[in-house]
Structure 1
């Protein structure tokens, strides 16, 4: 692997056509450009950026610098993070404008630009409310500082479990970068390893935070290959790692690693006859809106998008109603303001199509049976929705999660219990029988493998600052420590 050139560089301004953006590593002494760079291409395969890849020695020295740095003054941190969030969303950061950044993210990740803008606003809001968010996660009987009067005569103090926090970021959706801001607020020194698929968002956010006043020795961006990536996890006290089932399994036994894997979010239509009611003009019309929104919003690429709908009764009317709605979504390039579906290389789209049709073998496809690939003529293709009806709540197929609006619709009965609903990030339960639904929700809230329960017309993608996504991150980062004075 090539080493650093030894020269610090600035990220260039909005690049001219054909001129790749240089994304440098952000080390403890500032930006650093390496000889070994990863080419970042857009959805047509055209190179648009070069991402410096740091060697193992650079990672180890960077983590050592984080460990040696003193925690920032908590009194000033909230204002600094909020200022950085505003600059990230609206300003020119590292020479790149906010609209220029959003277009790059859209073209590279294949995510509709409207989704990128929404994620940008979410990051800004998370930064503005980060102090309130972490304070809300603290146990009510626990003090935030050892000098609190609560510790006179003995009390609990919220304390970090370590000093250095590492993030192996995902590239499927820019919104994931709103979460690790909480670690900064809690005094952690943070190292972010960006995804090679979409490195623009973490690079811009880290740069904005540094420009706002977070010391270079407290926040690093360490782009690496997969071989060096594990060194970041080993060198940190605690880590947040995004990935698929293989990544979750790899780190399952590591108590200092928090994994964020597939969401497998679901909707349960809990009453007999509610499915038929969705297609009428009655009071269930809003429920259909909730179902479709849960599937298609965020372009279907997020872990909070619904990938399964279980129906108490006949699933066919529900599948038909969903398919009718999704069939009318337009196929457009991701940077088009009206785009709502994801885009990727045509070859990648064909691979996903082949995999989907293999998984759906023997099932009834209401949408997607003739394929999900809609080529745009430039080497890229839109991933169109798929709606597949199953004859039973088959857990293996309900767990198939793909990066576009793809939903499995299956029957469910109370006799099936909560088994088919387990292993779910978000579960929305819709029903008219309040007593029966209430009894079911009691069990669902108590079920450890279900992270979030929404009751009524609340889409699975609903989120708000201060409301836990997959538990509070602070539950992992902090602990209560006894102090008496």
Structure 2
């Protein structure tokens, strides 16, 4: 007799119902959602931070079995008007609702914010900012052209939960949605799953699979459309498919003309560098100056030094690095990339400790030698998970090369357009 495929995935609660009582704020095992129920896995991995959180992992065999089964999902999917209502209601519940999440129990709004602080290092003001951004990014209400995708995969990043907008877009445009949460921050994904279910999205048209990285190609082959977030390492592993959309490194850069007031330039640059705790792909990593970069560097460095870390800054709240091993490694990498002749313009130490919390302070480096278009300085375009930028003088050739590698090119009002270059 063949053993049932749930042998390593016990339902979180019989019949899929959530246990009574609030979700524990101090940790627990983050479940997966498959076949219309929450499950805890015997295979799990610890999450960053000291909160005692673990993440259930799904093996390849169960994903393949679910794919075969879900092709025959009963009943028609919701129409577009119903989907819009579901998405809008889900956003309200994600923000303020009390939601059952399997064995974690009922998670209220305060519990979600506490979990974000524990696992992702997010201060509450930053969580609130991102919920607002998620609402503002809600896809338009116009029905998409053509038939919906049969099954869409959304593989999420760890840096921000605002990328959940891709899940909402998939709900509007797909018959079935599979979500692969980040292994470092899965809690926002499972809360969105719970919100969608509570808002009326059919349980048999939704799955949330936490997996080891090696199973991402399997998820891709079992889906009809794929939305993947990740860095260079993920991008190098992905096949070239017309159905796959990759949201990779942004390598944001900013162009500062020679005749601009450095104080005005610094005012403009500060939110581009430090906003959203430097975790967005559109954050500026490289400041390209047509003239002498020193005045802009001094003005911007002073503003970055003035950003409060604890308590959170009112304009630019900064996130902690929840993994106590990762923070020193990131700091060590940054120091390795700084060349002997470069100037560290900001004055605070890179590692910034407040009790048990470890932060990486906003940092600005003025490059002595920016390199060439073919061999730029190693900090040009480098993305680190906190506000960290390089400022340099760039001629037309180097400026053009940096812009070609950037997905986000920011220009000052009244400055040159990206295709003109900073010296044009």
Structure 1 residues 179 and 443, CA gap change in structure 2 (3 angstroms) = farther
Matching of residue 201 in structure 1 with residue 188 in structure 2: yes
- 1:123-160, Cα deviation, whole Å (9 max, x unpaired): 2344xx4343x55xx6xxxxx4xxxxxxxxxxxxx344
Task: Name the SS of the counterpart of 1:51 in structure 2.
Answer: strand
Residue 123 of structure 2 corresponds to: 112
Question: Could you tell me how far apart the structure 2 residues matched to 1:91 and 1:323 are?
Answer: 41
Structure 2 residue 258 is matched with structure 1 residue 293: no
Q: 1:177 matched to which residue of 2?
A: 164
Alignment equivalent of 2:107, drawn from 96, 100, 120 = 96
> Paired residue for 1:26?
33
- Counterpart in the other structure of 2:8: 3
Q: C-alpha distance in 1, partners of 2:413/2:156? A: 37
Counterparts of 1:338 and 1:431 in 2: how far apart (Å)?
22
Q: 1:82 aligns with which of 78, 88, 103?
A: 88
Preserved CA contact (<8 Å) 2:305 2:347: no
Name the CA distance, whole Å, in 2 between partners of 1:2 and 1:317: 64
Q: Is the 8 A contact 1:241 1:259 kept in 2?
A: yes
CA apart distance, 1:297:
0.8
- Is 2:250 the partner of 1:263? yes
Change (3 A) 1:122 1:390: same
RMSD of aligned residue pairs (Cα, Å): 2.6
**C-alpha displacement of 1:98:** 1.3
Measured after TM superposition, the shift of residue 429 of structure 1 is 0.8
| Total equivalences in the alignment | 400
Conservation of the 8 A alpha-carbon contact between 2:51 and 2:118: no
CA distance, structure 2, for counterparts of residue 340 and residue 108 of structure 1: 17
| TM superposition score normalised by structure 1 | 0.76
From 64, 72, 78, the equivalent of 2:78 is: 72
Residues in 1 aligned to 2:19 and 2:389: alpha-carbon distance in whole angstroms = 41
Contact 1:11 1:23 in 2 (8 A): no
Give the structure 1 partner of residue 355 of structure 2. 377
Higher relative contact order (CA 8 A, sep 6+): 1
d(CA) in 2 for partners of 1:82 and 1:46? 31
Closer/same/farther in 2, CA of residues 370 and 417 from structure 1, 3 Å limit: closer
**1:62 counterpart = 2:72:** no
User: Which residue pairs with 2:412 in the alignment?
Assistant: 430
TM-score (norm 2): 0.86
Q: 1:36 aligns with which of 24, 34, 43?
A: 43
Q: CA deviation at 1:46?
A: 3.3
Retained in 2: the 8 A contact 1:193–1:221? yes
Distance of 1:65 and 1:122 partners within structure 2:
36
Is residue 323 of structure 1 aligned with residue 304 of structure 2?
no
CA distance, structure 2, for counterparts of residue 87 and residue 174 of structure 1: 15
CA deviation digits over 1:79-126, x for unaligned, max 9? 111111111111111211112202211221113322211111232344
Deviations 1:218-256 (A, max 9, x none): 111111222333321121112112211111122153333
Contact 2:304 2:362 in 1 (8 A): yes
Distance 1:224 1:12 in 2: 28
User: What is the rounded CA distance, in whole Å, between the counterparts of 2:294 and 2:350 in structure 1?
Assistant: 20
- Contact 1:268-1:310 within 8 A present in 2 as well: yes
For 1:168 and 1:313, locate their aligned partners in 2 and report how far apart those are by CA, in whole Å.
42
Contact residue 393 and residue 411 of structure 1 kept, 8 A: yes
CA-CA distance at 1:12 after TM superposition: 6.6
8 Å CA contact retained: 1:80, 1:213: yes
- Other-structure match for 1:272: 258
Shift, 1:313, TM fit: 0.2
Give the alignment partner of residue 319 of structure 2, picking from 321, 342, 345. Answer: 342
SS in 2 for 1:323: helix
Which sections of structure 2, spanning at least 5 residues, go unmatched?
1-5, 101-105
Distance 1:205 1:17 in 2: 18
CA distance in 2, matches of 1:367, 1:417: 22
1:368–1:65 CA distance, 2 compared to 1 (3 A): farther
CA distance in 1, matches of 2:108, 2:316: 22
Kept in 2: contact 1:374–1:383 (CA 8 A)? yes
Distance 1:228 1:77 in 2: 30
State the Cα deviation string for residues 195-232 of structure 1 (Å, max 9, x = none). 12111111011111011111111111111222333321
Q: Distance in 1 between matches of 2:280 and 2:66?
A: 31
Question: How far has the Cα of 1:296 moved from its partner?
Answer: 0.6
Post-superposition offset of 1:393: 4.3
